[in-house]
Amino acid sequence: MRSIKLALWGILVLLSLLWLAAEPDVFQSENVFALRAAMIQYSGVLAIGAMSIALVLALRPGWPETWLGGLDKMYRLHRWLGISALVFSLAHWLWFEGAGWAIDLGLVTRPERGPRPPIENPVQQFLAGLRDPAEGLGEWAFYISVLLIVLALVPRFSYWWFFKTHRLLAVTYLVLAFHTVVLAEFAYWTQPLGIVLAVLLACGTVAAVIVLLRRVGISRQAMGNITALTKYPGVRALEIGMTMEPGWCGHEPGQFAFVTSDKGEGAHPFTIASAWNATDRSITFITKALGDYTSRLPDTLSVGQEVRVEGPYGRFTFDDGCPRQIWIGGGIGITPFIARMKYLAAQPDRRAGQAIDLFHSSAELDEDAFARLTADAAAAGVRLHIFVNARDGLLTGERIRAAVPEWREASVWFCGPVGFADALKRDLAGQGFDVKKRFHQELFSMR
């Protein structure tokens, strides 16, 4: 989370400093209308800058994922940038419309405008001729963007509709990029601010086109064939076994992939629940019925069906060098730990000298699923602790500390509900545990 905050504030501060360098006299504005003009430009720069970077991150590039600590963290930054773009766009609109409201209410007097100096630069003349369509189109693009971003932030807005509508932001971005090129202060383009803004607009435009052409992640896609489907009704889970065709380069335990079984539904992220073996090229996913799409999978998938797999993504790979680790999987969050246990069972030298305790908290009971989990833990040399809420009560930080006396020397790897993670972090931090450095969490939310 720290890297996400650093990236977000770094972007906003950099754009602010570049704008201040281009507008050094902004705080010496003669009147409120001069300040208004400057604030319209400033809020517009921040809004289009945040939106440009958010669009680039939507392409799922590799290098930010490494620095941020996984695609889940990168998507969290994408979300915060979207919220920032929404806030600054609203500020941009209010600064523009507010003057008229203030004049109508008699709070300020409309300033007298003298004749505008003639424009001699042919490029500036051309842009000035586009001012009216840029303002009109930009206003409508703003309204649509606000609606789409707000809908994306509403959990009750189904993933299917989110998948169908969120792509429209690429269209509104192209309109807003045109709006920016035409209406940004012409003097900016010969200054560092203009150079950075031009790069952001170019990258954002390319990203928008890629999104509209549905070419996101195309280089990391491969086809797979379903070979087995195993249902665990007690925990409402489905295990999907498949064989990958050439093009899949393998994965590390704890990573995930986007799986498309129905083009109309689009790609859904699923954690990989198996170690990679290049010989048999098999891969396993475990899904849980948490929504309309995942609830229908047992009925819509079939053995022999071809699906598209994109990835792998994520940095939840257990590599920290600690001699002791505590794993905590809440519900379907157990999946990355299953993959790691299968890997350790096949590579026993990788667990030499490392003690691992796995805590699995579940609201439901399925003896077959738990038997498989127990066998995997035994084969990997992992000490397993299963907590069924109705039978054993809730899993708490106190119970974890009691089960693992050496918890202060361990690193914690968590995958599960966000509220559960927050409660554990508060508990451990209150006991002096360095959660910033040694609490690793998979933010498994793509919205």
**Which helix or strand (DSSP H or E) is residue 228 part of?**
strand 221-232
Domains in the chain: ranges and CATH: 2-212 (1.20.120), 218-313 (2.40.30.10), 324-442 (3.40.50.80)
What are the strands, taking DSSP E only, across 256-404? Answer: 256-260, 268-271, 282-288, 306-313, 324-330, 355-362, 383-388
Residue pair 425/439 in contact (Cβ under 8 Å)? The answer is yes
CA atoms within 13 A on the CB side of 43: 17
Count other C-beta atoms under 10 Å from residue 263's C-beta.
9
pLDDT in tens, 368-403: 889 999 999 999 999 999 999 888 999 999 999 999
Q: Which residues pair with 283 in a beta bridge?
A: 242
Chain-wide mean pLDDT for the chain? 90
Residue pair 338/270 in contact (Cβ under 8 Å)? The answer is no
Q: Which residues pair with 257 in a beta bridge?
A: 270
pLDDT in tens, 244-277: 998 899 999 889 999 999 887 888 889 899 989 8
pLDDT in tens, 151-160: 988 877 777 7
Tokens read off for 103:
């004049």
pLDDT band at 446 (very low <50, low <70, confident <90, very high): low
What is each CA distance from 282 to 245, 250, 278, in whole angstroms?
A: 9, 10, 8
Q: How far apart are CA 210 and CA 206, in angstroms?
A: 6
Q: What does the DSSP 8-state code read for residue 382?
A: -
Q: How far apart are CA 207 and CA 194, in angstroms?
A: 20
- What's residue 107's pLDDT? 75
Q: Which of 383, 392, 336 is nearest to 363 (CA)?
A: 392
pLDDT in tens, 33-92: 888 899 999 999 999 999 999 999 999 998 888 888 888 889 999 999 999 999 999 999
Q: Residue 440: what are its φ and ψ, rounded to 5°?
A: -100, 125
Number of separate helices (H) and strands (E) present in the chain: 16, 11
The residue that leads in pLDDT, 425 or 118, is 425
Q: Amino acid letter at 9?
A: W
Q: How far apart are CA 64 and CA 206, in angstroms?
A: 17
Our CA angle for 362, 367, 368, nearest 5°, is 110
C-alpha gyration radius of the chain: 26
Q: Which residues pair with 349 in a beta bridge?
A: none
> Collapsing DSSP states into helix, strand and coil, what is residue 220?
helix
pLDDT in tens, 97-116: 987 787 777 777 777 776 77
- What's residue 90's pLDDT? 97
- What's residue 82's pLDDT? 95
**Which helix or strand (DSSP H or E) is residue 377 part of?**
helix 367-380
pLDDT above 80 for 364: yes
pLDDT above 70 for 444: no
Q: Amino acid letter at 150?
A: V
